[in-house]
Structure 1
């Protein structure tokens, strides 16, 4: 049994933030019905790269979900959807504020037919404030939030994160909010409305940069791979790759210097305290690098492990997916898609003794579960549903044949 078995999630999300949230809920046992507007559905289904009609991007965020075609402008489909809402526990959407309300299915309308509903809305700037109606994507939020201003090298161009940081942050905060609201439902029988802003989520995770500025009023600058207060705390080049080495205290520094056979550096008056090392960080880094250029990555990591210094090699993705630790933790899984060979994606990182680890999953094709859900959940008769969707299925097939990644 999984922790969220028996819970029904209605998914009106696309791209990354919302789909990440609902995929986690699915991995934890919830039944997730992803509603997609015909005939195109979630456009990320057609995002390259991919093969045999399946997008690796889409599959990596949508495993374990059912796919149902829904046009809320169609009264018959809308009526069936409202029947489904009556039995739902959670609804997640990531449209601009007011979009669901335009179709008459915003939170205030839905709670009238299901007071226990937990409704999570993810948007770029939140449901309130002067920018509430402004469009947003991950990179824009990285820019607006200040994240890009502290990413990269000093005096270099502002850089984005190597992954969709703001999307991931808001998706995770939405999941946390949903779990908290479900606890409230248990206690009171009443659902709740969860307002998640991508900007808020990113801002909250800038942690040290925000706190430092509020205290000192000094604008943080990008530090490359260095730490704002600890040193040495950076990558060093070896004969066969870069290794990240982290000294977090004066005692730690003494051990590091001895570990690389340079106790003289620990005695150098420029490097005796954390503050002095930070003030002389360039000279410190150069002295350590001069020593380590003749070392192998393996020898350096072994020496640091022995000295009790946190360290790790900078790996490329091809090395990570075959890393013994990743494999030991079962962090890759195979996801099947109609007509395509299984693809590997990252697995759920939440490890629970009561949660079975899965190595295989399935990602539904566009509209694959429409008739089943509309009949068994929406109250339509089988013939009624088939007649309602006959032309829609034909239009979907045409789009898929034209856009799917071959």
Structure 2
């Protein structure tokens, strides 16, 4: 098999919680040597975010930290700074998600790191970015979901504004950061120069408002809570059936005509009020009421079969058990098993990146706290006596 896609890259990971670790895990999955650096005094918070735990490790921590080595290093100590700078000299990328100004206060600004390694790429993740009036404010996914407008369009009139079920701003920021890093690596291949990257949760989540943001910017109309309905397309929402809720996603007028035929109500497909999507939007409530009553007459499985045959997109609302028992999930290797030193064997979500030659590999279990400290220090040339002394001084 070909070598890994990013096998020649070394990444120093100063991040914790989700956005940063998710980013570096993606790069680690693609073959980069990721060294996760935690303080010898304070662990990554997510190591304690449980239950559930797999032995000593929380399920939350395990979700975003495979394919990494872990060391402890006190960046406030002179010895810690010395070791970090030695690692910087040998690395390609540093990813950090401290509050804005923290790296500068540690004497580890981009300028300092650039002087050590002009090819280094520093990716900084924060709540609001390193410029602007909110740059010093802490950023938490929940707060970002609120302030970015996402919660104002999530939920319905009964529930009121609600958050997405996962920390979606963190996930999107991790993805954007990975894209930015790969872009900087590509540019460095031509220029030979590194650069700094400033990624914020706030910017990332606003970018991900996509068509809803565009609707507002073009029309000036503030969108309301639509629950499971689509702001631009009807019918495109959840419908109850005899036994289970399901989604029907009618994307165009021809699909609507076929949907009406499946419902046994072909007349809807030629009704002037419903024949085009703009008209269906105008008469959304009337049409939704008609469809809802009809959908209740059959089971979800019956509707799925009929709609599939008619070429109308649809799908059941699966719970987690149904998701991970789904044959497509298994076939696509979206559940992977890894051996773990304290939890024996663990199951993790697989990578969605399917490369034909440089395939994603599960090389390393999510590391124990400081598991590879001595290994990495030996690679830098430190002796056993020096390592023992640094441990005594709590520098590592």
TM class by smaller structure: over 0.9
Please give the alpha-carbon distance, in whole angstroms, between the structure 2 residues aligned to 1:359 and 1:195: 29
Out of 286, 294, 298, which is 1:295 matched to? 298
Aligned to 1:311: 314
Aligned to 2:385: 383
Out of 331, 355, 363, which is 1:352 matched to? 355
Out of 58, 62, 65, which is 1:62 matched to? 65
> What is the CA distance between 1:354 and its match in structure 2?
1.1
Q: Deviations over 1:331-378 (max 9, x none)?
A: 01124433223221211111011133546741211111111111213x
> What is the CA distance between 1:61 and its match in structure 2?
0.6
Counterpart secondary structure, 1:119: strand
From the superposition, tell whether residues 368 and 359 of structure 1 become closer, same or farther in structure 2 (CA, over 3 Å): closer
Q: Deviations over 1:157-211 (max 9, x none)?
A: 2100111111011110000000000011110110110000110000001011211
Counterpart secondary structure, 1:9: strand
Q: Deviations over 1:49-82 (max 9, x none)?
A: 2132111100111011111111012212221221
Out of 171, 185, 206, which is 1:168 matched to? 171
Given that 1:3 and 1:355 are in contact with CA atoms closer than 8 Å, whether structure 2 keeps it comes out as yes
Counterpart secondary structure, 2:133: coil
From the superposition, tell whether residues 61 and 240 of structure 1 become closer, same or farther in structure 2 (CA, over 3 Å): same
From the superposition, tell whether residues 247 and 181 of structure 1 become closer, same or farther in structure 2 (CA, over 3 Å): same
Given that 2:7 and 2:30 are in contact with CA atoms closer than 8 Å, whether structure 1 keeps it comes out as yes
Given that 2:119 and 2:192 are in contact with CA atoms closer than 8 Å, whether structure 1 keeps it comes out as yes
Query: Aligned ranges for residues 310-329 of structure 1 at < 5 Å?
Result: 310-329=313-332
Query: Aligned ranges for residues 198-347 of structure 1 at < 5 Å?
Result: 198-347=201-350
Aligned to 1:33: 35
Residue 153, structure 1, aligned to residue 156, structure 2: yes
Please give the alpha-carbon distance, in whole angstroms, between the structure 1 residues aligned to 2:351 and 2:325: 17
Please give the alpha-carbon distance, in whole angstroms, between the structure 2 residues aligned to 1:281 and 1:73: 60
Given that 2:127 and 2:140 are in contact with CA atoms closer than 8 Å, whether structure 1 keeps it comes out as yes
Out of 194, 198, 213, which is 1:195 matched to? 198
Q: Deviations over 1:240-263 (max 9, x none)?
A: 211211112222211111122210
Superposition CA RMSD, Å: 1.6
Please give the alpha-carbon distance, in whole angstroms, between the structure 1 residues aligned to 2:363 and 2:25: 14
Please give the alpha-carbon distance, in whole angstroms, between the structure 1 residues aligned to 2:152 and 2:373: 45
Shifted more, 269-278 versus 50-59: the winner is: 269-278
Counterpart secondary structure, 2:245: strand
Out of 10, 13, 20, which is 1:11 matched to? 13
Please give the alpha-carbon distance, in whole angstroms, between the structure 1 residues aligned to 2:208 and 2:322: 28
Given that 2:126 and 2:201 are in contact with CA atoms closer than 8 Å, whether structure 1 keeps it comes out as yes
Shifted more, 125-134 versus 246-255: the winner is: 246-255
Counterpart secondary structure, 2:137: coil
Please give the alpha-carbon distance, in whole angstroms, between the structure 1 residues aligned to 2:70 and 2:392: 16
Structure 2 length-normalised TM: 0.96
Aligned to 2:86: 83
Given that 1:330 and 1:359 are in contact with CA atoms closer than 8 Å, whether structure 2 keeps it comes out as no
Residue 115, structure 1, aligned to residue 118, structure 2: yes
Given that 1:11 and 1:32 are in contact with CA atoms closer than 8 Å, whether structure 2 keeps it comes out as yes
Q: Which runs of 5+ in 1 are unaligned?
A: 397-406
Q: Which runs of 5+ in 2 are unaligned?
A: none
Please give the alpha-carbon distance, in whole angstroms, between the structure 1 residues aligned to 2:339 and 2:106: 34
Please give the alpha-carbon distance, in whole angstroms, between the structure 2 residues aligned to 1:363 and 1:317: 22
Please give the alpha-carbon distance, in whole angstroms, between the structure 1 residues aligned to 2:300 and 2:170: 34
Please give the alpha-carbon distance, in whole angstroms, between the structure 2 residues aligned to 1:288 and 1:145: 33
Q: How many residues align?
A: 393
Given that 2:228 and 2:238 are in contact with CA atoms closer than 8 Å, whether structure 1 keeps it comes out as yes
Residue 370, structure 1, aligned to residue 387, structure 2: no
Q: Deviations over 1:288-346 (max 9, x none)?
A: 12222121212211111111111111111111011111111000112443322322121
Structure 1 length-normalised TM: 0.93
